[in-house]
Structure 1
Amino acid sequence: MATLEQIQARLKKLQAQADALIARKAQVAVNQIRELMLKHGLTTADIEAKAKARRDAKALNGRSAIGKAKTAGAAKGKLPPKYRDPKTGATWSGHARPPVWIKNVKDRTKFLIDAAADSASTVSSVVGKAKVAAKRGAAAKKATAKKAVSKKATAAKKVTAKKAIGVKTAMKRTAAAAGKKAAVKKTAAKKAVAKKASAVKKVAAQKVAAAEAVSAS
């Protein structure tokens, strides 16, 4: 029968083997992750950023769902006001327990909210909002028109500048061509003068030779 020391030694050996297997598997996983990161050009910072973005998105979705649930619950449980305190502006829907300012009042008709007045107020608010929206739209249109005019002016300036550059280039080319023609003409004139001078020299030499021949005879 194995002793306690032998069992403990076996346990240590088995634990060492298990640690080695875990390390190998971890190394294989790390190598695969490195290959994928190198293949797609990723870094640990990219992975952390994406993980953080997912966590933030989940948290935001959770908060949004909670907010929507609260809003829906409040909308369902809240009734439109029916009575209003002219002194404080406090309202009461007419259901549940009445507030202090109307609790002991027998004739509550004087506290009724005037639907027509409320409707007029609503209409006025809507008209005011429409006017503000119209002003904003007009301002946006003006800004867009100014941008369009500015773009057109910039484009026209660029076209004018290009035309000016083209004219200058053409003038330079014309001047260069004229210079070349003048140089060719000068060279031709020089050659013609040289030919004439050479011919004159030949004629003079021939005359001198003839005179010398005559005097010798």
Structure 2
Amino acid sequence: MPTLESIQSRIEALQAKADALIARQSESVLQKIHDLMSRHGLTVSDIEQYTGTRKKAGRANSAPKQGTVAYQDPKTGATWSGRGRAPGWIANAKDRSKFAVGASVKETKAKGKARAAVKRKGKGQPRGPQPALYRDPQTGATWSGRGRAPAWLASVEDRSPFLIA
């Protein structure tokens, strides 16, 4: 029975023979190409120009790329690429990382934390209730300064006595 070493030495010898055969064949092919080029008066730049235009034409005819799947519904198997309007099964989800395909939960959470760390300047007025800026000393009614002024403050020319310090 042959040993592993003897088989490996045979493989190496056969590989060396195959490399020598490939080298001889490639030399003969290159010689034929050189003869054809000189016979027809072609240069390497002519060939590059010809192959370059062929590649461009080939790219134009190729099929358009399909969108990659970014999210998948675990219940139905429906997929969404993450572009365009979100489908109903993911539209109301607070955390889309559980629907992500090919990304671990840790990676998506890390990305979410990185986004949360970057504070963005809000647009326009702040939302929600605002602290009171004015108080009526007689009734104790307050006004935040937003919206239409209440009657007890609208008729007053100087509002400074009503300001809350």
TM category, shorter = 0.3 to 0.5
Give the TM-score taking structure 2 as reference length: 0.35
Give the TM-score taking structure 1 as reference length: 0.27
Is the helix fraction higher in 1 or 2?
1
